[in-house]
Each structure stands twice: as structure tokens, then as C-alpha cells.
Chain A
Amino acid sequence: MNDPGREANQRELVSRWVHDHGRSVLGYLVGLVRDRSAAEDLLQDVFCRAWQARHRYVDTGRERAYLLRIADRLACDRARRPRKVMPASDEGIRPLEPVDGERSPWETLLAEEARAQLTSALNMLNEPQRRVLLLRYYGDLGFSEIAEILGAPLNTVLSHNHRALQALRRLLVEKNGS
């Protein structure tokens, strides 16, 4: 009893969302849960939830913020559920590499190093700090919007951002500088 028109409409909308925001939402989820397969599973959930709740979404041109908010909720729910603790490893980040066919050994080496650095960077941050930085990067959001998504006061978000960047500065800038 599926309505073909409705199904086509659904498919079109989902396609547009995936095309416009899939990569960013997936990046956010991978950065947060650091497990590619779990992130992909969550990504499907994000689009399903978004489509099911599409009537509640007020179109303000901030679809990505809307999707990232759902992604954040789902990732937090997943984190609350009891599960096997998995320390961050290169395996979680490895698939983040762009798949660009053949690479030279030098490029592969650079990518390996970048991946290791990203893993180290994410490991240095606590969860709220990771959420703030990843939302800022993938959502291109202002701090007030991030505060709204996280349900935290603006000053708390600014503080997380500041502390996270200080930690990253020690790791990424000073280390590279030396």
C-alpha cells in the first residue's frame, strides 16, 4: 500500500539531504564515535529521524544544523547505552581518508601521519570539547547555535572551545613548530 508519489518525494528529499549534508554529518559522527560502521549506522538513523520529523522542522535554511542536532542526540544516546568500551585507535579514523585511488608512497606516509595526528588530537579532548569543535567545523555554526544544540550556556561552550584549542595548540602547533 505504498504511495508511489510519496515514496518518490521521500527519495528525492533524502537524496538532496544526503548530497548536501551527508559528508559533513558523517564526518561529525565519525569524529564523535570514532567507529566508521557505527557512524554510518547512525547516519542512516539521522536521515530517517529527520525525514520522520520533517513536519516539525521550520525551514530557516539551516538544514545542516538541524541534521547535526539529530546526529548529536543519537550519538549521545548511543554513548549512554552500555556497550563495550573501545579506545580510540587509528582504525576509527582510517576510513576518513579520501578514497582517491592510487597514492604515492609519500602521500600515503603523509596521510598516515595526518591520521595519527587527528587521532591524538581527538584523544586529547574530552567529549564536550570534541562536540564543540566538530560542530563548529562540520556545521559551520556560530557559538550561540552550538550552545543551543548542546543545550549548554554560551559561556560554557566558549570555555570548551578555548580549552580545546589550547590543548590542540600544544599538540599541533608547538610540536610542529619545534
Chain B
Amino acid sequence: MSDSPSGPNDNAERAALDEAWAAFSHLLDASQPDVAQNLLVRQVCGRLGRRTARSRRMAVVLALAASVALVVGLVSWRRVAPHREIARAPQGRESTAATAGFDWDDELADEIESAAWSLGAVQSEVHGRFERARWVQEEMDELESEIELSSL
């Protein structure tokens, strides 16, 4: 042993500690464990093999899980992507129809357009009539106030 126990400086103390160390070493010498080396080598190699196989299986499982996740992600993305394209597409009716994947029907579109125009015309007519009724009401209020003034 190259190092010696530090602490006590006096030789008597050091000698006593050395003696204690020698006695302890002697006890351990007498109790050296017996190792069945061949058996131990077999056990260690067996355990190593099992661990290696387990980690290999784990790697395979992880790779499979990653592949499945990738496929699921890809499929989901492909399902969602066309709708996102529609949302981002320019407002032209032909391009919208093309993106959505159906043919544009001109007659149907014309009907929808004419219906929209008719609806607009009806709306403006109603609005005009309402405005005229309000104007008549205002005129009548003015006449009434003039009559009241003249009667005074």
C-alpha cells in the first residue's frame, strides 16, 4: 500500500493503526470468497446476451412505432391538405371549383347569380318604399304643425 493513513503524527498511534489494518486484512484474507469462474463467465455471458437481445427488440419496437406514427401523420396531412388549399385559393369561381375538384356548372351559376340580382332588386324596392313612407310622414307632421300655428 503506497499511501499511509494520515492523521496521527506520533509513531505509536501509527503503529497501532497499522496493526489494526493488518488484523483486518488477515480476517479478509481468511475469508476470500471462492468464485466458480466458469460458472460466473457463463452467467455473465448469458445475462449479456439477454440484455443485448432485449435492447435489440426494443430498438425494433421503437422503429416500428416511429414508422406507424409517420404513416398516420402522412395520411392525416394528405386528408387535411386539400381543404387548406381551398381556404387559401384565389377567389375566382373557376379556380375554386378546380381546387375543390369538381366541374363548374355555368347554368347553375347563372341561375344563382340572377337569383341574387332579383333578391337585391327586391331589397332596394322595399328600402325605397320605406323611405317614401317616411318622407310622407314627415310632410304630414309639417302640415299639422302649420295648421296648429294658423289656428292660434
Residues of A within 8 A of B (CB): 1-2, 7, 10-11, 14-15, 18-19, 22-23, 26-27, 30-31, 36, 40, 43-45, 47-48, 51-52, 93, 95-99, 111, 114-115, 117-118, 121, 133, 136-138, 140, 142-144, 158-159, 161-162, 165-166, 168-169, 172-173, 176
Determine the distance from Cα of A75 to Cα of B8 in the docked complex, in whole angstroms: 32
Instruction: Mark each residue of chain B from 32 to 63: 1 if its CB lies under 8 Å from any CB of chain A, else 0.
Output: 11110100110111011101000010000000
Q: List 7 A-B contacts (CB under 8 A).
A: A14-B44, A15-B41, A22-B35, A52-B51, A95-B33, A143-B6, A176-B23
B8: chain A residues within 8 A (beta carbon) = 162
At the interface, yes or no: B2 with Cβ under 8 Å from chain A? yes
With A23-B33, A142-B3 as known contacts, state yes or no: A121 contacts B24, CB within 8 Å. Answer: yes
Binding site for A on B (CB under 8 A): 1-3, 5-8, 16-17, 19-21, 23-25, 27-28, 30-35, 37, 40-41, 43-45, 47-49, 51, 56
Give the shortest distance, in Å, between A131 (CB) and chain B (any CB): 14
Query: B56 — which chain A residues lie within 8 A by C-beta?
Result: 1
